[in-house]
Amino acid sequence: MTALMWISHAERPLRAEELCHALAVGLGSPDFDVGNVPSMSTLVSCCQGLITVDKEASTVRLIHFTLQEYLFSHPDIFTKPHSAIAEICLTYLNSRQVKACPTNPPPDTQNPPFLEYCSVYWGVHAKRELSDYGRSLALELLKVNYSPISTGFLLAQAKNFYARSFDTLSPFSGLHCASFFGIVEVVVGLIEMGCCDINEADFSGGGPLAWASRNGHEGVVRILLGRGDINPDKPDDKGQTPLSFAARSGHEGVVKILLEREEVDPDKPDSDGHTPLLDAAWTGHAGVVKILLEREEVNPDKPNSHGQTPLLCAAGNGHAGVVKILLEREEVNPDKPDSDGHTPLLGAAMNGHEGVVKLLLEREEVNPDKFDTWGETPLSCAALDGHEGVVKILLGREDVDPNSPGSDGQTPLSRAAAYGHEGVVKILLGREDIDPNSLDSEGQTLLSRAAAYGYAGMVKILLGREDVDPNTPDDHGETPLLYAARNGHEGVVKILLGREDIDPNKPDDGGTPLSHAARCRHEGVVKILLGRGDVDPNSPDSEGQTLLSRAAACGYAGMVKILLGREDVDPNKLDDDGGTPFSYAAKNGYEGVVKILLGREEVNPDKPDSDGRTPLSFAAWNGHAGVVKILLGREEVDPDKPDKWGRTPLFHAAGNGHERVVALLQSREVVTSSTA
């Protein structure tokens, strides 16, 4: 039954090892005996099949959800289960074995299996039900500082706590811990024992009141404030006060209690300039915002150290209710920029908060086309992030320029295109005053950019316009087809080739779409382009090389096979230097390509270039023994053929120290050693 109690009332699913250790704890015992830990198989057997182990998560659960429902509908089955669980956890934490754990264990040290659960959840169970015995166990544990290991486990699970490092979480006193959990009986007991300083600073400089305020424990807050020596406005190391924490977490009751104290400054900024109002606005707690604005001392437009006002923070995070409240105040400037020039409208537009955008645009003081420091407008930000609704709202304003470029020269349209936001592109192209063929700051057309990124849907949208020319080159002479081919976007290539007016051979300075695709090893694109009757596979690129020569030189065996499968591809075509595809493959040592080319009868393996150098000469020069061996096996190859300077393959191999190639050449009787 104890196992069923744990499984049905634990705050999270227990690992098998955790449950076994929990059942081994002797209530009130100062020692934890590992010998009492049952095996999981024994435990499953004793529970008569009512529990099982989830193999994927390694956690224990009830065999069926209906059993969980039955246990919850019959609360008298277990007597005060949360109190019992709290007592077991506290007994475990008070044991000599756990207390003996090193404060700063080495990284590879294994913590006791049950330590994490007990450290994080004993207080949750105790707050729900706490017996007198449980209270005495808690006071025993907390009369000294909470263990750094336990503190680390506890705060790692806390929803409203963020630490740069969990290695420096000491000190954290027992009163801090009890205030964190909000257990009134334990807080009172610790104060009565006189073992804790009510204003003691923890590792962050905050006191117990800060933890109680952060977690919304009104009872503990009242108890702590009842002490005459309490400082209700004590800041931590970052200047954050209990009121700041309560406001940020939305605990209206705690905020009201703290504001009853004269010593509490309701507008006190922390080290980042955040006031309690700004914190509440940032996190969207409208109730707290209203409470704070009732105080005359609170400045509703006070910026933080980055120039961000409460309105800007609320707008950027989409808290429409808070925005409404703040806009009702005359002191609030609805168009006030921060240090980066971001206005509330830009923040709302950037994050796609349509409701907030509408609220702000109702104010005459708001400039809907205002630039920030980086030259961005609300429209450009909304377009960049694909917020279609916001884009529509802004375009409904006559004072918004849809073509306004940022400091980098990019327009809202080019930004939307660059990030593949088809919906925004459609909306913008619906405007008569937008030119889809204009060049952006990088000299690209909208179609070129979409093709370059492989945005097929956007390419279709643009090609559906009569005023879009699919052959328009950018400032670098590159067409949309060339961009798509070079980047391997097969779908876009097919779409563009579906246009009758497309020029599939239009080159830039570096070659045609076909040569670019081949150079980048995009075999799929090469096949698509070669499927066109108007694409010449033998046309040379800017360096005078054919597609086959380029593929052979780079060792692209698959591409070579594709090209040789064409009847119109000449495997012996010379480039400007007299080189052939075969000579390039041999020169660079690509044995596989050499063998493929030799499979064609018309390939001459001994054809010299304009300097008289043969494929064997190049292979020998570069020490490609495998290629040399293949060539020496061909009767047509003259192993002693000199170039125009009288240098033979053996001369080149010996001169470059390629001993293996020298040996291969000397094995041929026709090779004369004198030429070396």
Beta strands 59-62 and 51-54: pairing type?
antiparallel
Give CA–CA dist 486/511, Å, rounded: 10
Q: Do residues 448 and 474 touch, judged by C-beta distance below 8 A?
A: yes
Query: Which pLDDT belongs to residue 522?
Result: 92
pLDDT in tens, 442-462: 778 889 989 999 999 999 999
51 beta partners: 62
Selection from 298, 299, 326, 321 nearest residue 311 by Cα = 326
From residue 452, alpha-carbon distances to 20, 97, 262, 448 in Å are: 59, 64, 64, 6
Q: How confident is the model at residue 670 (pLDDT cuts 50, 70, 90)?
A: low
Rg of the chain over Cα atoms, rounded to whole angstroms, equals 39
Peptide bond into 171 cis (omega under 30): yes
Query: Which pLDDT belongs to residue 105?
Result: 63
pLDDT in tens, 543-553: 778 888 888 99
Selection from 2, 217, 21 nearest residue 118 by Cα = 21
Q: What percent of the chain has pLDDT over 90?
A: 60
- H or E element, residue 446: helix 446-453
Sign of CA dihedral 388, 393, 397, 400: negative
Query: Which pLDDT belongs to residue 148?
Result: 84
Q: Do residues 272 and 304 touch, judged by C-beta distance below 8 A?
A: yes
Sign of CA dihedral 186, 189, 191, 196: negative
pLDDT in tens, 347-403: 999 999 999 999 999 999 999 999 999 889 999 999 999 999 999 999 999 999 998
Phi, psi of 639 (to 5 degrees): -75, -10
SS3 at position 193 = helix
Q: Is the pLDDT of residue 163 over 60?
A: no
Q: How confident is the model at residue 507 (pLDDT cuts 50, 70, 90)?
A: confident
Give CA–CA dist 47/66, Å, rounded: 16
Mean pLDDT, the chain, whole residue set: 89
CA 46 to chain centre: 47
DSSP secondary-structure letter at 347?
H
Contacts of 429 (CB under 8 A, 6+ apart): 413, 436, 461, 462, 465
Where is average pLDDT lowest: 94-103, 157-166, 230-239, 522-531?
Answer: 157-166
Where is average pLDDT lowest: 214-218, 306-310, 600-604, 615-619?
Answer: 600-604
Q: Higher confidence at residue 609 or residue 76? A: 609
Contacts of 214 (CB under 8 A, 6+ apart): 160, 161, 242, 245, 246, 249
Where is average pLDDT lowest: 202-206, 212-216, 514-518, 668-672?
Answer: 668-672
The tokens describing 221, both together, are 């807050």
Please report, as a single letter, which amino acid is at residue 514: L
The tokens describing 362, both together, are 């109702």
Selection from 221, 206, 276 nearest residue 243 by Cα = 276
Contacts of 572 (CB under 8 A, 6+ apart): 580, 581, 582, 602, 603, 604, 607
Contacts of 302 (CB under 8 A, 6+ apart): 267, 269, 275, 277, 278, 309, 310
The tokens describing 94, both together, are 């008070």
Q: What is the DSSP string of 449-504?
A: HHHHHT-HHHHHHHHTSTT--TT---TTS--HHHHHHHTT-HHHHHHHHTSTT--T
Sign of CA dihedral 643, 647, 653, 656: negative
The pairs formed by 186-193 with CB atoms below 8 angstroms and a separation of 24 or more are 186/126, 186/130, 186/135, 186/138, 186/139, 186/142, 187/220, 187/223, 187/224, 188/223, 189/135, 189/138, 189/139, 190/139, 190/142, 190/143, 191/223, 191/227, 193/139, 193/143
Q: At what angle do helices 132-142 and 184-193 cross, to 10 degrees?
A: 50
Selection from 520, 568, 572 nearest residue 549 by Cα = 572
pLDDT in tens, 238-275: 999 999 999 999 999 999 999 999 999 999 999 999 99
Selection from 431, 421, 373 nearest residue 401 by Cα = 431
Contacts of 231 (CB under 8 A, 6+ apart): 199, 207, 209, 263
Q: How confident is the model at residue 669 (pLDDT cuts 50, 70, 90)?
A: low
Query: Which pLDDT belongs to residue 672?
Result: 60
The CB-side HSE value for 386 (13 A sphere, CA atoms) comes to 7
